[in-house]
Chain A
Amino acid sequence: MDKTNTKIQENKEYLTTLDQAIGDGDHGINISRGFQEVMNKVSGQAYEHVADVMKDVAMTLMSKVGGAAGPLYGTAFLKLSMTFKGQDVDYALFSQGIEDALNGVKQRGKSDTGEKTLVDVWSAVSERLKQEEKFDGSVLEETARTAMENTKDTLATKGRAAYLKERSIGHLDPGSVSSFYLFEAFAEVINEGE
Chain B
Amino acid sequence: MSTVGLVLISHSPKIVEGVKDIISQVVQNVSIELAGGTDDGQIGTSIEKIQAAIEQAKGEKGVLLIYDIGSAKMNAELAIEMSGLDSIEIAEVPLVEGAYVAAVESGMNKTLEEVKASVEKGF
Contact = CB atoms under 8 A, between A and B. Distances in A.
A114 B64 CA distance: 33
Nearest to B49: A63
B44 A67 contact: yes
Contacts of B47: 62-63, 70-71
A64 B48 CA distance: 9
A111 B44 CA distance: 20
B106 interface: no
Contacts of A75: 78
Contact of A63 (B39, B69, B74): B39
Nearest to A74: B78
B39 A30 contact: no
Contact of A68 (B39, B43, B46, B71): B71
Contacts of A109: 74
Contacts, number: 49
B45 interface: yes
A170 interface: no
Contacts of A3: none
A65 B74 CA distance: 12
A25 interface: no
Interface in B8-67: 11, 37-39, 42-48
Nearest to B47: A62
Contact of A71 (B48, B69, B71): B71
Contact of A62 (B37, B44, B78): B78
Given A62-B78, A63-B39, A68 B48 contact: no
Interface in A43-90: 62-72, 74-75
A41 interface: no
A30 B43 CA distance: 10
B78 A68 contact: no
Contacts of B37: 66
A9 B37 CA distance: 35
B102 to A, nearest CB: 23
A64 B75 CA distance: 12
B78 A30 contact: no
Nearest to A159: B70
Nearest to A162: B70
Contacts of A62: 47, 75, 78
10 contacts: A30-B44, A62-B75, A65-B44, A66-B43, A69-B71, A70-B45, A71-B71, A74-B78, A108-B78, A160-B70
Closest 3 A-B residue pairs measured CB to CB? Answer: A66-B44, A66-B38, A68-B71
